[in-house]
Amino acid sequence: MNDLETLREIFKDTRLHIGIGTIATLGLSNSGSKLRVKVNLLPENREIVAEMTFADLTTVTFPEINDLAIVAFVDGHPDEAFVIKLVNTSEEMIPLFAQAGHSVAYSRPGKKMYLGSNTKVGAGRLNVEPTEPFVLGNVQVSALTDLVNIFLQPGGVPGNPIGQCAVGPVFLDSGVRSALTLWIAQYLTTASTNIISQICFTERGA
C-alpha cells in the first residue's frame, strides 16, 4: 500500500450520512410543531427515529406508512436523523401532466388539497396580478333562483301576473315558464348538472 492509499484509509469517513428506508410509524409532537417518524433503514432493516422535514415551512404533506424515504444524519450521528425526501415507487405514479413537463401539485389519494393565505390567494399567469374575484357558487345560485322566481312566482305565488298593461294583467308565456323551470332544475338545483363545482371550493372572506 502506497502512502496516498494509507492516508485515504486513515482519514476515510465511515460514518453514515445518507440512508434510505421505509416509513413505519408517525408521531406528532404535543405542540404540533414537529413530526417524528420511525424509519426502517435498508438494507439492514434497522429502525431509527427521524424528524420529518418538508419542502418548505408553508408546504406540508405528511408521509404514509411504507413510503420510501431518504434520511440524512447530522455528522453521521445515528440519533440526529431527518427525513429529507420521499421517493416515488411503482405505486406512486408521476402524474401525466408532470410527465409532459408541466408543474403539478396534488394531494395524496383520499386526501384534500388546501391553498390558503391570510391576505389574498391569487391564481393567474406568471407575473400578472389577478384582479378578478372568484364568484361564490352558493350565492350565485341563490341570486339566480330569486331572479327567475320573480317571473315564475311573482309576489311569491305561482301563476301571478308579472305585470300590468293597458288591457289588464300580463302573464308569463307557458313556453317561457316551462323553459325557465327546466333551466332552474338543470343549472341550479340538480347536483349532477348545476353550476356549482363539486371539487373546488372557496370562501368570501371579510
Mean pLDDT, contiguous 10-residue spans, the chain (206 residues): 64 72 97 96 93 91 95 85 92 90 92 93 94 95 96 90 90 94 96 95 89
Residue 14: the pLDDT is 57
Residue 206: the pLDDT is 78
Residue 42 CB partners (closer than 8 Å, separation 6+): 19, 20, 21, 22
User: In terms of Cα–Cα distance, which of 150, 66, 151, 62 is closest to 110?
Assistant: 62
Residue 11: the pLDDT is 60
Query: CATH: 1.10.10.10, 3.90.930.12, 2.40.50.140, 3.20.20.80. Which one for 11-87?
Result: 2.40.50.140
Q: Report in angstroms the alpha-carbon separations of 2 from 8, 11, 30, 72, 173.
A: 10, 15, 56, 34, 104
> What number of helices (H) and strands (E) belong to the chain?
4, 7
Residue 176: the pLDDT is 95
192: Cα within 13 Å, side-chain hemisphere:
0
- How far apart, in whole angstroms, are the C-alpha atoms of residue 93 and residue 88? 7
- How far apart, in whole angstroms, are the C-alpha atoms of residue 133 and residue 140? 13
Residue pair 38/24 in contact by the 8 Å Cβ criterion: yes
Residue 8: the pLDDT is 65
Q: What is the Cα Rg of the chain in Å?
A: 30
Residue 71: the pLDDT is 96
- How far apart, in whole angstroms, are the C-alpha atoms of residue 194 and residue 197? 8
- What are the grid coordinates assigned to 27, written together? 408521531
Q: Where do you find CATH 2.40.50.140 in the chain? A: 11-87
Residue 75: the pLDDT is 81
Q: What is the pTM of this model?
A: 0.74
Residue 57: the pLDDT is 84
